Structure 1
């Protein structure tokens, strides 16, 4: 019965243990800062947020997943593999409505777009707000199953949403959002 009750937590723990990045990025030793072997995450959060703001103003839908300690290779293989440095114009062009790459999510690791058109697991949580569409459900799903972070731009409202650990994270403005993401990536 315990396995059924704690299935999501057990899955997340096993993903962390089985991750190719486990230990390498110092996740085991995070409480001991002097033992930290982790390199500083170089993801250009400001470029991502500026792109999200611009896409929001044109109601261009987007789903951006930021990889942290857990490897997301099992997800990148569902999309088109890339190796593109993150910039505001790159993100905007990927999600442009007529772009062949705009469907699905993009996965970013350490300022590199690793994959586009990625198919993400969708959350089965029945308590999600009605205003959350499929992109939001996918953001909840990927952050429930891994330690990744997800940013969604709603195609209907143009609003930017942020998800971590399967939860919608509130913020006042995009400057605050950028600071939250930088802290979460650090």
Structure 2
């Protein structure tokens, strides 16, 4: 049996390739496109959900396994290919065992009232505005009573692993609820509250401590946990000091301390609410870009 392809055969195949592709495209119907689009969308949502857990590392391992299987077949490594192909036969059962927590969580999401949110992830701006207002009100009152608090606003990077370290909730954010959670004798007051899309997702959650050795020594564990959370994600973390009552915000590993309530509200609005560029700024930006283009399309000097 011939295992090589001549140059003439390869050239003929390349010449016929556009014709074959055209014939195949003519056979595609609207239902086929709809079928593919639905499968891609569902697969994307499943992968998006699974990336919130350690399942992504297992997926990487599977990709490496199948790449090694294909490579052993191409290089005719018969022993390795035989063993790995036999492992594939029990692969479905192994996947169910490995991904059992993730599969269970996906089914729970699909069976819950948040099924529509599972597919859309729609976020209401009014809900976030109300959440910010209630958070500022609670932090202001806890600052006056020197009640320690740690509030995490999740953004693009999901924090499901942190949520599972505490008590999972699904509640609207209110100042009274926040003050009750962080009350000094409450069972969850030492942990953090995590907020997603304007709703309280978990309380009493454990956060990673900052590894920055240059932090001030007067910062306690609550501040170090808030800074550590901001170092490991894009979250916005609000901290109320139990010793001084001062309000701080950690973003990107940086800590902004001694904030006034109005400063805290403006900061949270700038970080958590979508910012619309004024029409005047858009026009000036477009005009500046047009002027740069008219000068020959060169880059800016000194950049």
TM-score normalised by structure 1 residue count: 0.77
Residues 1:131 and 2:226 are matched in the alignment: no
Give 2:237's match in structure 1, choosing from 150, 175, 181: 150
Give unpaired runs (5+ residues) of structure 1: 1-17, 23-36
Residues 1:165 and 2:252 are matched in the alignment: yes
Secondary structure of 2:170 counterpart: strand
* Residue number in structure 1 paired with 2:185: 98
Shift >3 Å, 4+ stretches: 18-22, 37-41
Residues 1:109 and 2:196 are matched in the alignment: yes
How far apart, CA to CA, are the structure 2 residues paired with 1:68 and 1:21? 17
- What is the CA distance between 1:111 and its match in structure 2? 1.9
- What is the CA distance between 1:106 and its match in structure 2? 0.7
Higher helix share: 2
Instruction: Number of aligned residue pairs: give it.
Output: 155
* Residue number in structure 1 paired with 2:21: none
Higher strand share: 1
Identify the range of structure 1 (37-46 vs 123-132) with the bigger mean alpha-carbon deviation: 37-46
TM-score normalised by structure 2 residue count: 0.48
- What is the CA distance between 1:70 and its match in structure 2? 0.9
How big is each residue's C-alpha offset from its partner over 1:134-176, in whole Å with a ceiling of 9 and x where there is no partner?
0100011010000101011100001110110110135752212
Give 2:155's match in structure 1, choosing from 59, 68, 87: 68
Change (3 A) 1:128 1:121: same
How far apart, CA to CA, are the structure 2 residues paired with 1:172 and 1:154? 11
How far apart, CA to CA, are the structure 1 residues paired with 2:134 and 2:158? 23
- What is the CA distance between 1:20 and its match in structure 2? 4.1
How far apart, CA to CA, are the structure 2 residues paired with 1:125 and 1:110? 29
**Alignment root-mean-square deviation, CA:** 2.1
Larger Rg: 2
Give unpaired runs (5+ residues) of structure 2: 1-46, 52-120, 274-303
How far apart, CA to CA, are the structure 2 residues paired with 1:72 and 1:101? 18
* Residue number in structure 2 paired with 1:4: none
Name the structure, 1 or 2, with higher relative contact order (CA <8 Å, separation 6+): 1
Describe how 1:9-28 pairs up with structure 2 within 5 A. Answer: 20=49
Give 1:57's match in structure 2, choosing from 144, 149, 169: 144
